[in-house]
Structure formats: C-alpha cells, structure tokens
C-alpha cells in the first residue's frame, strides 16, 4: 500500500541520504526530538523509521478525530525531522508494527527504540526486542521512575496516589518551600470545586488552518475509515509542532488562571471550560510533560490552579502509568484483588454512541460533545459517563473499550486505570478508596444541565434512585469501606417502599437505555413507579 501523493512528494523533497546512519524506530506516541537519541545525537548521523498501520487504526472503531490527530502529527513529525537533517523511512504496513519494522532491518541493521508507553505496542514489538532486532531504551518522556513509585508505596498494594504525589513533590521540589508544600498543604482540591455560573468568560478554543498534509489525512480517513464514529473537525486539529506550541500558548494565556477554581465544573456552553485540551498532545509527546509542568509551576496563575494542574500531570498521570505497568495492564493483580469487584456485566447503553438520545440532558449533552470533539474534561468522564455506567452495572471492560475508542487522548496505560480503577471501581480499593457515584444532586450542583432537562432533579430524575439501588445491590461488597459508611447508613433509613421504587427505577432506566428509548419523566415519579408493579 503506497502512502499519499502530497506527503510523499513533500517528504521526498526534504529527505536525506540514508547511508551510514544510526537508525531509530519512533513510535506514534514519541513524536518529539527533545527526548531520546534525537535530542542529543547529530541529526546528520541519524535515521528514523515511522510506521502507519491501517490494521491498528481499524482494530477498534476509533473516533475519526483521533485517527486524524495521530496520523497528521506523525506525518508532520516526519517532515520536521527531515528538515533537521534526519533521514526518514516512512512505512505504511497493513499488519503489525513488528512486521513493518522487521522489513527494514536488512537496510538499517538493528534499531533502537525508546520503550513505547502503550502496552499494546510493547507486546507487538516484544519478539523483535527478544531477537535483538530492536534495542529497547528507557522512555525519557516520563517525569518519575519505577523506583519512586515503589518507594512511595512502602506497604505495597493497595496503592495510593496521595503518597506517590507527596513523595515526588518532595523529590522534585516543585511547589515546595523549605521542604513543605507551597500554601501549607499538599493538595488544594478543596479550592477547585466551584460551579461556573456564567462568569468569568469562557475561552474560545484556537482555530488551526489545515495544510495539504492534514487535508490529505482527512481524505484518507473519509475513504478508508468512513464507518468510524465521530466528527472530523480539521480547524480544531493541531498538527505541526508550531500548532501544538500555539495551543499551549493559548492555554497558558486563556485557561490557566481559572483552571483550578472551575476544574470540576460542568456546563452546556462548553465541553472543556478552562481545561487546556493538551492531554492528547502530551500523550503523543508533541508537548512534553516536563515543559508543561515547568511552565505551570513558574507561571503567575493562582496557587490552586498551579497545584491542581501539577497534581493532574505529575501526580495522577504518572501514578496511572506506574499502576498499569505494575499489573501488566491489570492482567496480574496483587493478592487479594480482583478484576471485577462489583461483578458488573450489563451491556453499554446505546445512548453512549449518540444515535439514541436518552432524554437525560446531562448524558446526551456530554455524549454529543464527545462525538463532536473526541474530548471532554475529567468530571464529565467521571461523574456523568462513568457514574451512570457504574450505577447501571455496565461491564467495566465494555466501558473501557468505549472510552478508548471515543477519546483522542485515550491509550491503554491511561484509559484502563482511569475507567477500571476509578470510573467504575472495578478493581475495588487497589488504588482508589471508594466508588465515584452520585445521584442527581452532584450533577445539579456542579453543572447547568438540569435547567433544560425534561427530568426534575428532585422529583423525576432517575439518577438518584439508581444511586440508592446501586448501594442496595452492593451493600455487602462495600460494607467495611469507611468512605461509604455514611451513604450506607442513609440507605438503611430508606423505607421498604422507597427501596422498591429505587429498584424499579434502576430496571426501567437500564431497560429503556438498553433498548435505545427516550425516557419518559412521568415513569420515574413516585406515582409512575408505583404503577404497573
């Protein structure tokens, strides 16, 4: 399969003599010359191998915006490296990455490669590493080490992010003053929970002018992956290094000041509010985590914004990848832990795919945002999508696959721990301390979805009854967890009639969403739940 004409022509015009080079294989998630051998060896003496795998793109029905982001950044990276003097071999192989790399070994000799972040790619390449065709180097994009993770968790599993975060804050000195956290406390999360009421003004995301390379990628996706879900919006797609840097400049200027205060807020007016939209580019290493952390810590943004951002990148992001690596993608759990703590097996509702609106304004809005943008911030992921799926006993693995497909920043090392471990509590207390579930009160308090919803948050919204039904079904599993003790005490005070209505509401909600129906608010009032018993 030949790659496209404009890109091939442009690369051919810029490319350099491959003779006498030392060769690297650069995975799709390491598109930077500021880490690894590309950062400290002479470009004139280096060659890189880049691989596009249509088989990988077709393995799941990935959001078309996600495919475009990866492909156009990989192609722009190829051109940027050729411009630097690096020789570039760009391959399109409709098979595994190992097969593609093996084909060039007669020309290049053994290749070097920084260890891919994505476990799925590491497993693909493992036979080449074992045979000596590929030398594995440490991944220089990470901010912390395995030793730091292990040292922070002295007692082993269950693992805790707070202990890890405290350890690496001390080790790095970031936002530390005389050995103590700036502002007198490690986390300023309590200052980051304010709902947004219309002020300050929300920033408008930057617009990027697509060039011929990006337009060609879009044409490829329309031709080969037209059956994949999601919109393809080239104007919101940073493709070159310059465009990635301009997104970060915008984020620092327009988002960072208010990021912390409204970090947990939700609104129909924006899928992201003051979130920076840089996670997908960080995962590709078009923007380096170390540079982003440096810029945030040294900025004049309020402390709660700086610390909140640092906690997400230095804390949670790094902690997630260590947990994923320590468990081999949760295929090897520590003694006493299991993969499906809540024994959730029900299918994912059709409403998550956007073709069957539920009538629940929060859910339908967030789903529409995801299929438009391939993005959404962490609270809509956690407290709308994962919350509902957990309340409905949806299969955690099925939900994880959906997130992997739908979000542009989802890769196994980050999506699996976030959904399995935090979003659904599928792993029990392995590294989170409680299920992140709620009724309608949280969504009403932190967002503005309820105002335009057909369901009244206190009278007919099924979320709250589904919450009580969830606690009722799983009370025995959760008993003994101190963070769930108060809700379980409240559950015990609900009358038998209330608990019967809770269970009927849960079944109607599950059955209606499962059938792709638009829900009827009257069916979830007390009177409606008492009918047809």
Token pair for 469:
């039904």
Rounded to an integer, what is the distance from CA 215 to the centroid of its chain? Answer: 26
State pLDDT tens for residues 312-338: 999 999 999 999 999 999 999 999 999
Q: Which two tokens stand for residue 358?
A: 């539920």
- Give pLDDT, residue 533: 59
pLDDT, average across residues 89-118: 96
CB 454 within 8 A of CB 359: yes
**Residue 95 pLDDT > 80:** yes
pLDDT value at 1 more than 90: no
> What's the pLDDT tens digit per position in 340-377?
999 999 999 999 999 889 999 999 999 999 999 999 99
pLDDT (average), residues 148-159: 96
The pLDDT-based confidence of 4 (bands split at 50, 70, 90) is: low
pLDDT for 2:
42
pLDDT band at 3 (very low <50, low <70, confident <90, very high): very low
- Mean of pLDDT values over 109-136: 97
What percent of the chain stands above pLDDT 90?
98
Sheet architecture: strand order including 22-25: 87-92, 46-52, 22-25, 111-114, 134-137
Mean pLDDT, residues 206-211: 96
Q: pLDDT digit string (tens) for 477-524?
A: 999 999 999 999 999 999 999 999 999 999 999 999 999 999 999 999
C-alpha 35 chain-centroid distance: 22
pTM of the model: 0.96
Structure tokens that stand for 526 in this block: 């007390």
Give the pLDDT confidence of 127-139 residue by residue, as tens digits: 999 999 999 999 9
Residue carrying structure tokens 């975060």: 165
Q: Cα–Cα distance between 255 and 322 in angstroms, integer?
A: 28
Query: Residue 241, SS3?
Result: helix
What is the band of 532 on the pLDDT scale with cuts at 50, 70, 90? low
The position carrying tokens 């300023």 is 188
What is the rounded average pLDDT for all residues in the chain? Answer: 96
Q: Which two tokens stand for residue 522?
A: 């009257």
**What is the arithmetic mean of pLDDT over 418-434?**
97
How many other C-beta atoms can be found within 10 angstroms of the C-beta atom of residue 176? Answer: 14
């Amino acid at each position: 399969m030949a790659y496209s004409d404009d890109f091939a022509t442009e690369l051919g015009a810029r490319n350099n003599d491959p003779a006498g080079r030392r060769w690297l294989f650069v995975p799709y998630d390491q598109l930077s010359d500021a880490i690894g051998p590309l950062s400290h060896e002479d470009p004139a003496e280096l060659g890189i191998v880049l691989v596009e795998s249509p088989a990988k793109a077709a393995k799941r029905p990935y959001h078309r915006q996600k495919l475009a982001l990866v492909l156009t950044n990989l192609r722009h990276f190829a051109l940027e490296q050729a411009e630097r003097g690096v020789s570039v071999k760009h391959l399109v192989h409709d098979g595994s990455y190992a097969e593609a790399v093996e084909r060039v070994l007669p020309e290049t000799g053994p290749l070097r490669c920084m260890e891919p972040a994505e476990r799925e790619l590491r497993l693909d390449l493992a036979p080449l590493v074992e045979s000596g065709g590929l030398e594995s180097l440490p991944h220089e994009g990470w901010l912390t080490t395995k030793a730091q993770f292990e040292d922070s968790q002295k007692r082993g599993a269950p693992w805790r992010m707070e202990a890890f975060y405290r350890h690496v804050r001390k080790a790095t000195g970031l936002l530390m003053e005389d050995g103590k956290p700036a502002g007198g406390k490690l986390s300023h999360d309590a200052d980051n929970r304010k709902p947004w009421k219309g002020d300050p003004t929300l920033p408008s995301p930057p617009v990027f002018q697509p060039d011929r390379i990006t337009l060609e990628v879009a044409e490829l996706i329309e031709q080969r992956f037209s059956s994949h879900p999601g919109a393809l919006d080239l104007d919101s797609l940073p493709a070159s290094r310059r465009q990635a840097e301009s997104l970060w400049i915008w984020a620092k200027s327009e988002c960072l000041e208010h990021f912390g205060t409204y970090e947990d807020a939700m609104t129909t007016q924006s899928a992201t509010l003051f979130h920076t939209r840089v996670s997908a580019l960080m995962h590709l290493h078009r923007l380096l985590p170390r540079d982003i952390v440096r810029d945030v810590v040294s900025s004049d943004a309020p402390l709660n914004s700086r610390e909140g951002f640092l906690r997400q990148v230095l804390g949670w992001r790094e902690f997630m990848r260590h947990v994923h690596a320590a468990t081999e993608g949760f295929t090897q759990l520590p003694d006493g832990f299991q993969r499906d703590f809540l024994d959730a097996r029900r299918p994912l509702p059709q409403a998550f795919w956007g073709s069957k609106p539920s009538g629940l304004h929060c859910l339908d809005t967030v789903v529409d945002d995801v299929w438009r943008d391939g993005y959404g911030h962490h609270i809509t992921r956690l407290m709308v999508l994962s919350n509902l799926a957990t309340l409905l006993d949806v299969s955690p693995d099925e939900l994880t696959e959906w997130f992997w497909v739908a979000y542009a920043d989802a890769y196994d090392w980050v999506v699996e721990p976030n959904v399995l471990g935090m979003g659904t509590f599928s792993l029990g207390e392995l590294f989170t301390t409680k299920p992140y579930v709620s009724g309608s009160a949280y969504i009403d308090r932190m967002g503005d979805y309820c105002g335009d919803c057909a369901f009244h948050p206190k009278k007919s919204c099924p979320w709250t009854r589904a919450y009580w039904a969830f606690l009722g079904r799983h009370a025995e599993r959760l008993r003994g967890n101190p963070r769930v003790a108060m809700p379980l005490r409240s559950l015990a005070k609900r009358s038998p009639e209330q608990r019967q209505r809770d269970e009927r509401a849960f079944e109607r909600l599950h059955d209606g969403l499962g059938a792709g129906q638009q829900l009827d608010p009257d069916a979830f009032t007390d009177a409606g739940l008492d009918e047809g018993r």
